């Protein structure tokens, strides 16, 4: 009952391609769910439904137990869903502050920007962001000049700024150095400590196993199985994953 | 001892100033580049034809003719920053005037020229915005690249102009009796062309919209990375359609101003402005790949384009040289902008 987010019988098709079929998925309060699955299994589609980018063909989304209609990206953000996309969703020719406030610029009722405020907030965020980015970065520097880790930092800081309740991390370790990955894993644990929930997607099973409370495995658009991380060893999980990839089922 | 401290402090102040200047130069490399080209060419013009370029006359002439295309280059800059292009605005200029003429005829029953001209003017602007909206709709809803879509609509609306006007030109002598005439193409103090004020107003509004308003922020983000903009909840289709409406609206205004200026309508109105307007935008440093560009750059670019023609002749070359010099300056400037952008990145 105490779910922050619940998907009931959600299906999604693109024309004739059935991307997701009858997905039932829950995310509890203060829980980190790891999402595993092969390329093209439907992980990204599932994420884009939760972020309001795609509309489900069938089924319902419930936030804090309440059904949400006419779901959209802006509605998802109002409900506290923040996403760190695989592709990071940054505009590289633009300045840091423009990226932090991408799509929800601080403005007055006539749409005039409050640039000074956005720059100040960006500066504050960067210095507070738990060492994920270097403090030397100015709000006016172009994001394209940053390293992979710094870019990921921007995407994460952006997600944090807006008081997220649910943070979705889609392949967040891609392109990161070992050191940066370690920081990221620590960051995900901090999310939990701060009482928030997260969905963590990574092709690296070890990372997922490391941080997730529960692991959901998707295969060919369906949920193939779920595990409580404490109740399964990493080796056993790996065996299961290989079995799923070969047969499409855990049995 | 204390003088040494002073010395060190002053040196530190200087390096601070120097590094801030460097930072400023890096940030505004493209705009400084085009400013350099602008003043460099101006200097060359003055030195080689002082009789022409040290007198006010030629500048009044520029301010009279450059606004015809420069006002369109302002919204075109936004369209290009958003990663799109519009090639149909010359036809929109003429189509706006057709809407003007049709409305003028249809409102003959009013019997008041000022009121008729005013209504016709409004009709011209509305038709421009409407055609821009249709352009945007075709591009966004059918996912057609704007280059292709506006090549199509540019033919279509030019065709519509020819069909509706039966290919006929005609005098507009009656507009001289309307209050709009001095407001659009009058001369302040008998010399300063009012259309220059329109250009300045549109450039300032364009700058505010692009740099201080959400609309402009979204234009830059869409041109930079449309996928990211969409993921972050920006309604990229709507913003792009608005940009096409804006250039449609301003193209119609430019059509009215150009026609009023010569008190004449002709069906190929606007054709000559296509390349000048595009060249102003690219000369000004706006990237054809989207995501970067400035209003100041376009503004200066338009005056460079506008001055070359007069300057070529004033300097003593024949008119045959004009296009060659156009081409040379456009190509060199675009190479300069690309080089400056690479250095920043």
The residue extents of the domains of chain A are 3-90+166-247
Lowest mean pLDDT among A11-25, A176-190, B12-26, B60-74: B12-26
Set of chain B residues whose Cβ sits within 8 Å of the Cβ of A140: 27
Q: Is residue B304 in some structural domain? A: yes
CA distance A84 to A167: 8
* Nearest CB to B217; choose among A53, A92, A113: A113
How many domains are there within chain B?
A: 1
Beta-carbon contacts of residue B38 (< 8 Å; ≥ 6 apart): B300, B303, B304
Contact list in B for residue A142 (CB cut-off 8 A) is 344-345
ipTM associated with this complex? 0.85
Q: Are strands B170-171 and A81-84 parallel, antiparallel or unpaired?
A: unpaired
pLDDT recorded at residue B334: 86
The chain A residue lying nearest B215, using CA atoms, is A111
What's the angle, vertex CA A39, arms to CA A13 and CA A156, rounded to 5? 95
Per-residue pLDDT at B18 = 83
Cβ-Cβ contacts under 8 Å for B178 (sequence gap 6 or more): B113, B114, B117, B118
Give the per-residue pLDDT at B1: 46
Choose the mutation target among A93, A106, A115, A159 for the interface with B, i.e. most B CBs under 10 Å.
A93
As given in the structure block, the two tokens for residue B182 are 């001095």
CATH T-level topology, domain A3-90+166-247: Rossmann fold (3.40.50)
Q: Do A98 and B220 touch (CB under 8 A)?
A: yes
Q: Which of A87, A93, A111 sits opposite B224 (nearest CB)?
A: A93
What pLDDT is stored for residue B213 in this prediction? 96
Output the CA torsion B233→B238→B242→B243 (10° steps): 60
Residue of B nearest to A102 (CA): B232
Question: What token pair was written down for B344?
Answer: 């920043």
Looking at the complex, report in whole angstroms how far the Cα of residue A113 sits from the nearest Cα belonging to chain B: 5
Reading chain B (345 residues) residue by residue, the pLDDT tens digits are 455 556 665 666 667 788 888 877 877 888 888 888 899 989 988 898 888 888 888 899 899 999 999 999 999 999 999 999 999 999 999 999 999 999 999 999 998 999 999 999 999 999 999 999 999 999 999 999 999 999 999 999 999 999 999 999 999 999 999 999 999 999 999 889 999 999 999 999 999 999 999 999 999 999 999 999 998 889 999 999 999 999 999 999 999 999 999 999 999 999 999 999 999 999 999 988 899 999 999 999 999 998 887 788 888 888 788 888 888 888 888 888 888 877 655
**What pLDDT sits at residue B181?**
94
Question: Dihedral of CA A156/A159/A165/A171: which sign?
Answer: negative
* pLDDT confidence bin for A140, thresholds 50/70/90: confident
pLDDT of residue A129: 67
pLDDT interval class at A138 (50, 70, 90): confident
For B345, the closest chain A residue by CA position comes to A145
Distance from CA of A247 to the nearest CA of B (A): 34
Q: Is the pLDDT of residue A78 over 90?
A: no
Nearest CA in chain A to B218: A103
B231 → closest Cβ in A85, A111, A115: A85
| Residues A64, A85: Cα–Cα separation, whole Å | 23
Whether residue B8 lies inside any domain: the answer is no
Q: What domain range is B304 assigned to? A: 32-344
CB B284 within 8 A of CB B33: no
**Model pLDDT, residue B325:** 86
The alpha-carbon gap from A235 to the nearest alpha carbon of chain B, in Å, equals 36
Long-range (24+ apart) CB contacts under 8 A made by B138-146 are: B139/B84, B139/B240, B139/B241, B139/B244, B140/B237, B140/B240, B140/B241, B141/B237, B146/B79, B146/B84, B146/B85, B146/B86, B146/B244
Tokens of B118: 């005013």
Does A90 sit within 8 Å of B231, measured CB to CB?
no
Is B268 within the bounds of a domain?
Answer: yes
What is the pLDDT at residue A1? 47
Two tokens, residue B109: 């029953």
The answer to whether residue B1 sits within a structural domain is no
Question: Looking at the domain assignment, is residue B201 inside a domain?
Answer: yes
Contacts of A85 in chain B (CB under 8 A): 228, 231
Highest mean pLDDT: which of A83-92, A167-176, A183-192, B233-242? B233-242
pTM of the model: 0.89
B15 within domain boundaries: no
**pLDDT above 90 (res A186):** no
Question: Do the Cβ atoms of A195 and A30 come closer than 8 Å?
Answer: yes
CATH number of the structural domain spanning residue B139: 1.10.3470
What proportion of chain A, given as a percentage, has pLDDT over 70?
96
pLDDT of A115 higher than 60: yes
Q: How far B7 CA sits from the closest chain A CA (Å)?
A: 28
């Amino acid at each position: 009952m105490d779910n922050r987010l619940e998907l009931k019988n959600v299906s999604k098709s693109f024309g004739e391609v059935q991307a997701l079929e009858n997905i039932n998925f829950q995310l509890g309060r203060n829980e980190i769910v790891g999402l595993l699955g092969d390329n093209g299994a439907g992980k990204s589609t599932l994420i884009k439904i939760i972020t309001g980018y795609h509309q489900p063909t069938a089924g319902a989304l419930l936030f804090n137990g309440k059904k949400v209609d006419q779901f959209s990206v802006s509605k998802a953000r109002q409900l506290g869903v923040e996403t760190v996309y695989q592709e990071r969703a940054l505009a590289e020719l633009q300045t840091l502050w423009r990226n932090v406030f991408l799509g929800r610029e601080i403005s007055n009722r006539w749409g005039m920007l409050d640039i000074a405020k956005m720059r100040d907030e960006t500066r504050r965020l960067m210095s507070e962001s738990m060492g994920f980015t270097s403090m030397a970065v100015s709000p006016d520097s172009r994001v394209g000049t940053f390293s992979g880790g710094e870019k990921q930092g921007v995407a994460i800081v952006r997600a944090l700024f807006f008081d997220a309740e649910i943070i979705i991390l889609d392949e967040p370790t891609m392109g990161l150095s070992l050191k940066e990955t370690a920081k990221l894993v620590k960051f995900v644990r901090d999310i939990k400590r701060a009482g928030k929930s997260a969905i963590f997607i990574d092709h690296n099973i070890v990372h997922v196993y490391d941080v997730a409370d529960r692991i959901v495995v998707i295969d060919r658009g369906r949920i193939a199985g779920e595990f409580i991380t404490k109740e399964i060893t990493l080796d056993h999980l790996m065996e299961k994953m290989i079995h799923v990839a070969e047969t499409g089922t855990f049995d | 001892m204390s003088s040494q401290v002073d010395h060190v402090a002053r040196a530190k102040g200087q390096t601070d100033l120097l590094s801030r200047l460097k930072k400023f130069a890096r940030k505004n490399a493209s705009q400084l580049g085009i400013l350099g080209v602008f003043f460099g060419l101006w200097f060359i013009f003055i030195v080689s034809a002082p009789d022409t370029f040290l007198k006010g006359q030629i500048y009044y002439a520029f301010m009279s003719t450059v606004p015809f295309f420069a006002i369109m280059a302002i919204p075109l800059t936004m369209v290009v920053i958003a990663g799109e292009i519009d090639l149909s605005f010359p036809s929109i200029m003429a189509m706006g005037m057709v809407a003007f003429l049709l409305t003028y005829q249809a409102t003959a029953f009013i019997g008041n020229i000022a009121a008729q001209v005013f209504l016709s003017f409004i009709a011209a602007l509305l038709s421009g915005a409407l055609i821009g909206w249709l352009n945007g709709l075709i591009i966004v809803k059918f996912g057609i690249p704007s280059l292709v879509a506006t090549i199509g609509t540019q033919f279509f609306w030019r065709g519509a102009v020819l069909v509706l006007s039966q290919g006929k030109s005609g005098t507009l002598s009656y507009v001289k009796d309307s209050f709009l005439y001095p407001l659009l193409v009058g001369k302040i103090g008998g010399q300063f062309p009012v259309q220059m004020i329109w250009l300045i107003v549109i450039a300032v509004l364009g700058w505010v919209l692009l740099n201080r308003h959400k609309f402009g922020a979204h234009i830059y983000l869409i041109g930079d990375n449309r996928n990211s903009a969409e993921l972050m909840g920006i309604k990229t289709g709507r913003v792009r359609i608005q940009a096409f409406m804006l250039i449609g609206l301003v193209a119609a205004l430019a059509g009215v101003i150009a026609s009023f200026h010569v008190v004449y309508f002709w069906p190929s109105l606007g054709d000559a402005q296509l390349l000048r307007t595009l060249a102003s935008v690219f000369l000004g440093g706006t990237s054809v790949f989207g995501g970067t560009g400035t209003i100041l750059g376009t503004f200066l670019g338009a005056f460079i384009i506008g001055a070359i023609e007069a300057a070529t002749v004033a300097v003593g070359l024949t008119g045959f040289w004009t296009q060659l010099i156009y081409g040379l300056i456009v190509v060199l400037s675009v190479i300069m902008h690309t080089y400056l952008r690479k250095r920043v990145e």
